[in-house]
Every structure is written in structure tokens, then in C-alpha cells.
């Protein structure tokens, strides 16, 4: 059995989304897929609990203006990583705009994670406390990560994947309801990509 989970990276240009996706991929490289519709998708497998869980991590390819991201990018996303950059105050202040923009396009079952990127920099213009407070106010998770050092990267993706898997095992995810956001596939053919377009 194969579970396919679509995760997306959202946030202003230059906050470090692509670097994060590459860091995630290099820890366990499986595949790399460049689409023709302006998104890059990193694929990563997790053989857990006798299941093969595959994460499809979608990254916008340089079109991070709010209006230019099509609703297809958000559709069926079971995990949303809302990214800001510790060294860029505006990237944090724009987070509510990203939330407003995408919220109506997400499936009923989804998780939103606030991500503070470039945790390694010394010139921080956002404090961890205010990021934590924002996350708490909106009932979402928060991680402080660095794609440069790798701090918290694997842990962040792994924790989300484990909690989705647990919800699935406890029947909290109704498959027809999230059809598209989560797919179960019984054979090993690589044709699953087409399910997402």
C-alpha cells in the first residue's frame, strides 16, 4: 500500500523555500521532478509501519506574488508549510495574507505549519516568541529551522507525516473526502504523478 501526501511550501520570494526543499531531498534523495506548470516537486519515501509513504513536496518556481499562484497549487494539499525568513520582517508580516489567500482552496483535512527559516542568522528581525504567539493564536504548529545547518528540517516533516499517518490509522481521515490529497495505490508503477495534474 502506498500513501501519497501532497505538501506545499508557501511564502515570500527569497525566504529560503527552495533551499529547504533541497535540504529535505538530499537527506534521502529519491527523485526530482520538474513540472511544466511552474512548480518543482520533490519526492521522498518513508517506509513506515509496512506502508510506503510518499511525500510530494511542491515548491513554487519563482512566482511568489500572491495573485500569481494558481488555486491548483493549493488544491489537495494535506500539509501546508507557511514560511517566513528571520532576517526579513516583511516576510513575517505577509504571513496572514498567504493564509487568507489559500485557506478556501485547502481540503477539509489539512495541517498548516508556520516555519521560521534561516534560524542560523545573527541579524534576526522576527523573534521566536512572536512567531510562537502567532501560531498559537491560529492553532497551527510552529518550527524554527535552518536549511543551512539542517536544524529541525527532517523533524518538522517527519512529525507532520507521523501525525497524518496516526489520523489515517484512527479513521480520522475519510478517504473520499480528501481524494486527491491522499492517495492509496496498490501497485508500484511510477505513474502516480499524473494523479496530481
Q: By the criterion CB under 6 A, which residues form the site for ligand GDP?
A: 13-19, 117-118, 120-121, 146-148
By CB under 5 A, residue 18 contacts Mg ion: yes
Q: Which residues lie below 8 Å from residue 9, measured CB to CB, with a gap of 6+?
A: 17, 20, 21, 57, 58, 59, 60, 81, 83
3-state secondary structure of 119: coil
Residue 91 interface partner, choices ligand GDP, Mg ion, none, CB cut-off 5-8 Å depending on type = none
- Report the residue number, 15 or 57, with the smaller CB distance to ligand GDP: 15
User: Residue 125 CB: number of other CB atoms within 10 A?
Assistant: 14
Cα(191)–Cα(16) distance, integer angstroms: 30
Closest to ligand GDP by CB, 147 or 178: 147
Question: Which option in ligand GDP, Mg ion, none does residue 118 bind, with CB closer than 5 to 8 A by kind?
Answer: ligand GDP
Give the one entry of Mg ion, ligand GDP, none that residue 167 binds, where binding means its C-beta sits below a cut-off of 5 to 8 angstroms depending on kind.
Answer: none
Select the binding partner of residue 15 from Mg ion, ligand GDP, none (C-beta < 5 to 8 A, by kind): ligand GDP
The SS3 of residue 195 is helix
Query: Please, what is the minimum distance in Å from the beta carbon of residue 91 to ligand GDP?
Result: 9
Closest Cα partner for 185 from 197, 177, 171, 196? Answer: 196
Residue 42 interacting with Mg ion (CB under 5 A): no
- Give the nearest distance from C-beta 108 to Mg ion in angstroms: 29
Antiparallel, parallel or unpaired: β 51-60 and 2-10: parallel
Instruction: Give the separation between CA 13 and CA 16, rounded to whole angstroms.
Output: 8
In the bound complex, what is the minimum distance in angstroms from residue 11's beta carbon to ligand GDP? Answer: 6
Q: Which residue is nearest to Mg ion (CB)?
A: 18
Task: List interacting residues with Mg ion (CB under 5 A).
Answer: 18
Amino acid at each position: 500500500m502506498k500513501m501519497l501526501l501532497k505538501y506545499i511550501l508557501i511564502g515570500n520570494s527569497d525566504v529560503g523555500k527552495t533551499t529547504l526543499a533541497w535540504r529535505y531531498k538530499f537527506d534521502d534523495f529519491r527523485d526530482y521532478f520538474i513540472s511544466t506548470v511552474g512548480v518543482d516537486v520533490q519526492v521522498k519515501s518513508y517506509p513506515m509501519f509496512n506502508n510506503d509513504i510518499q511525500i510530494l513536496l511542491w515548491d513554487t518556481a519563482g512566482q511568489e506574488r500572491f495573485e500569481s499562484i494558481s488555486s491548483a497549487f493549493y488544491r489537495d494539499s494535506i500539509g501546508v508549510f507557511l514560511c517566513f525568513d528571520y532576517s526579513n520582517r516583511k516576510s513575517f508580516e505577509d504571513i496572514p495574507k498567504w493564509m487568507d489567500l489559500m485557506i478556501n482552496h485547502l481540503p477539509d483535512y489539512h495541517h498548516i505549519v508556520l516555519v521560521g527559516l534561516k534560524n542560523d542568522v545573527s541579524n534576526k528581525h522576527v523573534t521566536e516568541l512572536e512567531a510562537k504567539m502567532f501560531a498559537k493564536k491560529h492553532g497551527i504548529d510552529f518550527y524554527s529551522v535552518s536549511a543551512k545547518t539542517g536544524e529541525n528540517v527532517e523533524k518538522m516533516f517527519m512529525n507532520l507525516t507521523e501525525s497524518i499517518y496516526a489520523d489515517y490509522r484512527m479513521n480520522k481521515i475519510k478517504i473520499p473526502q480528501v481524494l486527491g490529497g491522499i492517495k492509496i495505490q496498490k501497485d508500484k508503477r511510477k505513474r502516480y504523478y499524473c494523479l496530481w495534474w
